[in-house]
């Protein structure tokens, strides 16, 4: 038996979480370094997965399969395709930065008993989320995936509710109330989505008799497993609902601005750049593979919802007064692009969507983390409280600018490539929708540049006049992310090579081919 690389990649952060949580209260700094160490080991393992994965080979590679709960027909089945590898890489890459950025976010204030160890808890919870997210990208058993999909809500919930943004207008009590409101809203939205998915998961079992993605998909493809049209549609809706809450898709998005606004910046990155990707990833992997016909049936409606997400998210972002909520609405807009790319059912669209997942993760992390540094300096999330920062802290302003430009998909930075692919892929099949979606880009330019202009340019506000520039730790967080944004913007081939074969498989699952171009390109 070969080394279970996939299990190890998820097990290392899980073990790290337990070890970190067990560190005594006084050894706070040791816990932080331990957590960072485990996240780096995870990154090494994730890179190993990338190395061992052969893009042109089998659809699912590095597979593992063990009996788990035979009575439910549940197996511990893992396997990755190119999309999974890319997203595991993204997750493993971002977590060390998240940990570093949140280095001081959970230092204890005053209250609590000797056994109250918020710092250890904060780092352990982040690692726990990482373990569950990575395993969910690997799971090829529907039940196993469902368990992780639900279970990751609990550590996320404690991260949002337990470690809020300290920079807050108003009293501590009010902040605590808003924070627990955001945490509960996050949990209830996702739990309801998950429970509806549970009904669909049970329904799928009743129809198919097991939970193995590969077996069910094979039986569907060979015609061995027939589903009544209405059954397939109901099951699809059950799954899609849960993923649309997680992704989030308009009109199920309202938890995200609350959660991202109240959480600390690193946790907000964890939500939008890592955890939410599970939703869009699952649409590709589960909705399209298990329910191809129903997916096609639902495509027009989903595309319209995605379009609304794009425009509505961008419009609301323009109107935000709070930096973090602005990034949240921008993310909703971007998730609209991702979902549109997935359901455009073209190879460019889906490749673009997958690439978008990675790029959005990196660009949002860059913008949000710099925004977090900014907010922690001034102690306010309101845009109006800033002005002229670029004169006081030029490096901070510069990195913030790069993050903003990435968010508006400037050519040369990574998100441009993916957004372009999604729009081209959508236009090929649904020209009208592609055209309307382009307005999202115009609005993105508006909210990104206005954000930069209002906070960084203009006369220096007295409150920010003594603002220190980025520290070494913060530079270590930001610089690699920016380098990656530029690299993937110029040379996205490593990721697209990884993703393209997987996208081809997914498209053939839904029996779709790319539409022929109407004008032959000149030879």
Partner 1 sequence: MSASAVHSLWTMAAPIDKIDAPTIEYTQLLPTLIVIGAAVLGILVEAFVGRKARYYVQVFLTVVALVAAFAAVIGLAAGGYASTEAKIVAMGAIAVDGPALFLQGTILLTGLVAVFTFAERRLDPAAHGNHVDSFTAQAASVPGSESEQAAVKAGFTTTEVFPLSLFAIGGMLVFPAANDLLTLFIALEVLSLPLYLLCALARRKRLMSQEAAVKYFLLGAFSSAFLLFGVALVYGYAGTVSYAGIADVVDGTVQTVDPALAGTMGNDALLLVGAAMILMGLLFKVGAVPFHMWTPDVYQGAPTPVTGFMAAATKVAAFGALLRLLYVVLPGLRWDWRPVMWGVAIATMLIGAIVAITQTDIKRLLAYSSIAHAGFILAGVIAATPDGISSVLFYLGAYSFVTIGAFAVVTLVRDAGGEATHLSKWAGLGRRSPLVAAVFAVFLLAFAGIPLTSGFAGKFAVFKAAAEGGAGMLVVVGVISSAIAAFFYIRVIVLMFFSEPKPEGPTVAVPSPLTITAIGVGVAVTLVLGVAPQYFLDLANQAGVFVR
Summarize as ranges the residues that interact with partner 1 (CB under 8 A). 67-72, 111-113, 115-117, 146-148, 150-151, 153-154, 157-158, 161-162, 173, 176, 179-180, 183-184, 187-188, 191-192, 195-196, 198-199, 202-203, 205-206
CB of 201 to partner 1, least distance (A): 9
CB 308 within 8 A of CB 250: yes
What are the backbone angles phi and psi of residue 74, rounded to the nearest 5°? Answer: -100, 130
What does the DSSP assignment read for 11-67?
A: HHHHHHHHHHHTS-TT-HHHHHHHHHHHHHHHHHHHHHHHHH--TTS-SSEEEEEEE
Q: In terms of CB distance, is 44 or 188 closer to partner 1?
A: 188
CB 94 within 8 A of CB 269: yes
> Which residues, listed in sequence order, are joined to residue 3 by a DSSP beta bridge?
none
SS3 assignment, position 80: strand
SS3 assignment, position 113: coil
SS3 assignment, position 167: coil
CB of 402 to partner 1, least distance (A): 36
Q: In terms of CB distance, is 185 or 334 closer to partner 1?
A: 185
SS3 assignment, position 360: helix
Long-range Cβ pairs for the range 426-430 (8 Å, 24+) = 426/303, 426/340, 426/341, 426/344, 426/346, 426/349, 428/344, 428/346, 428/348, 428/349, 428/514, 428/515, 428/517, 429/344, 429/345, 429/346, 429/349, 429/515, 430/303, 430/344
State the Cα–Cα distance between residues 279 and 341, nearest whole angstrom: 14
CB of 117 to partner 1, least distance (A): 7
Q: In terms of CB distance, is 97 or 146 closer to partner 1?
A: 146
Q: In terms of CB distance, is 111 or 222 closer to partner 1?
A: 111
CB of 150 to partner 1, least distance (A): 5
What does the DSSP assignment read for 125-141?
A: HHHHHHHHHHHHHHB-B
CB of 216 to partner 1, least distance (A): 16
CB of 116 to partner 1, least distance (A): 5
CB 326 within 8 A of CB 383: yes
| Strand-strand pairing, 74-80 and 61-69 | antiparallel
CB of 267 to partner 1, least distance (A): 14
CB of 38 to partner 1, least distance (A): 20
Per-position b or e across 212-239, b if 16+ CB within 10 A of its CB: bbbbbbebbeeeebebeeebbbbbbbbb
Q: In terms of CB distance, is 294 or 327 closer to partner 1?
A: 294
CB of 200 to partner 1, least distance (A): 10
State the Cα–Cα distance between residues 179 and 403, nearest whole angstrom: 26
Q: In terms of CB distance, is 149 or 427 closer to partner 1?
A: 149
Q: In terms of CB distance, is 152 or 270 closer to partner 1?
A: 152
What's 445's DSSP letter?
H
Q: In what helix (H) or strand (E) does residue 352 lie, and over which residues does it extend?
A: helix 347-378
Distance, C-alpha 162 to centroid of its chain: 21
CB of 231 to partner 1, least distance (A): 10
Q: In terms of CB distance, is 48 or 154 closer to partner 1?
A: 154
State the Cα–Cα distance between residues 245 and 242, nearest whole angstrom: 5
CB of 469 to partner 1, least distance (A): 34
CB 280 within 8 A of CB 357: yes
Q: In terms of CB distance, is 3 or 116 closer to partner 1?
A: 116
Q: In terms of CB distance, is 208 or 369 closer to partner 1?
A: 208
CB of 12 to partner 1, least distance (A): 19
Q: In terms of CB distance, is 71 or 518 closer to partner 1?
A: 71
Neighbours of 398 (CB within 10 A): 17
Q: In terms of CB distance, is 19 or 154 closer to partner 1?
A: 154
| Of residues 148, 158, 135, 47, the one with CA closest to residue 96 | 47
CB 128 within 8 A of CB 11: no
């Amino acid at each position: 038996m070969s080394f279970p690389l996939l299990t190890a990649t998820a097990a290392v952060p899980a073990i790290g979480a337990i070890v970190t949580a067990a560190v005594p209260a006084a050894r706070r700094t040791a816990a932080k370094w331990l957590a960072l160490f485990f996240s780096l080991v995870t990154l090494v393992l994730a890179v190993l997965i990338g190395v061992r994965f052969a893009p042109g080979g089998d659809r699912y590679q590095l597979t593992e399969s063990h009996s788990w709960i035979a009575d439910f027909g549940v197996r511990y089945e893992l396997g990755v395709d190119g999309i999974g590898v890319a997203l595991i890489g993204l997750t493993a890459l971002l977590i060390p930065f998240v940990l570093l950025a949140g280095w001081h976010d959970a230092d204890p204030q005053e209250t609590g008993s000797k056994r109250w160890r918020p710092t250890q808890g904060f780092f352990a919870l982040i690692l726990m989320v990482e373990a569950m997210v990575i395993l969910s990208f690997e799971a090829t058993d529907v039940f196993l995936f469902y368990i992780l999909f639900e279970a990751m809500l609990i550590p996320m919930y404690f991260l949002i509710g337990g470690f809020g943004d300290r920079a807050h207008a108003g009293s501590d009590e009010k902040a605590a109330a808003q924070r627990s409101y955001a945490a509960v809203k996050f949990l209830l939205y996702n739990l309801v989505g998950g429970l509806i998915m549970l009904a669909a998961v049970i329904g799928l079992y009743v129809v198919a008799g097991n939970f193995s993605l590969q077996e069910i998909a094979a039986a569907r493809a060979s015609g061995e497993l027939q589903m009544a049209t209405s059954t397939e549609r109901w099951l699809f809706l059950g799954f899609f609902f849960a993923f649309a809450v997680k992704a989030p898709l308009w009109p199920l998005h309202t938890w995200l601005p609350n959660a991202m606004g109240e959480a600390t910046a690193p946790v907000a990155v964890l939500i939008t750049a890592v955890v939410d990707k599970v939703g869009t990833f699952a649409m590709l992997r589960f909705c399209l593979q298990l329910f191809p016909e129903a997916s096609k049936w639902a495509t027009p409606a989903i595309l319209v919802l995605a379009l609304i997400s794009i425009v509505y998210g961008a419009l609301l972002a323009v109107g935000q007064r709070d930096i973090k909520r602005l990034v949240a609405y921008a993310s909703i807009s971007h998730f609209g692009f991702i979902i549109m790319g997935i359901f455009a059912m073209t190879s460019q669209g889906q490749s673009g969507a997958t690439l978008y997942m990675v790029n959005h993760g990196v660009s949002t992390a860059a913008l949000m983390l710099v925004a977090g540094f900014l907010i922690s300096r001034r102690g306010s999330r309101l845009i109006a409280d800033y002005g002229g920062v670029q004169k006081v802290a030029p490096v901070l302003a510069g990195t913030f600018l790069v993050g903003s430009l990435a968010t508006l998909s400037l050519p040369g930075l990574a998100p441009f490539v993916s957004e372009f692919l999604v729009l081209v892929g959508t236009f090929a099949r649904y020209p009208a929708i592609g055209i309307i979606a382009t307005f999202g880009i115009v609005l993105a330019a508006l909210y990104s540049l206005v954000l930069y202009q209002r906070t960084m340019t203009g006369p220096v506000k007295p409150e920010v006049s003594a603002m220190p520039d980025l520290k070494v730790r913060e530079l270590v967080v930001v610089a690699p992310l920016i380098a990656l944004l530029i690299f993937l913007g110029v040379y996205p081939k490593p990721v697209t090579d990884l993703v393209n074969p997987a996208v081809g498989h997914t498209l053939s699952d839904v029996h779709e081919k790319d539409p022929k171009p109407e004008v032959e390109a000149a030879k």
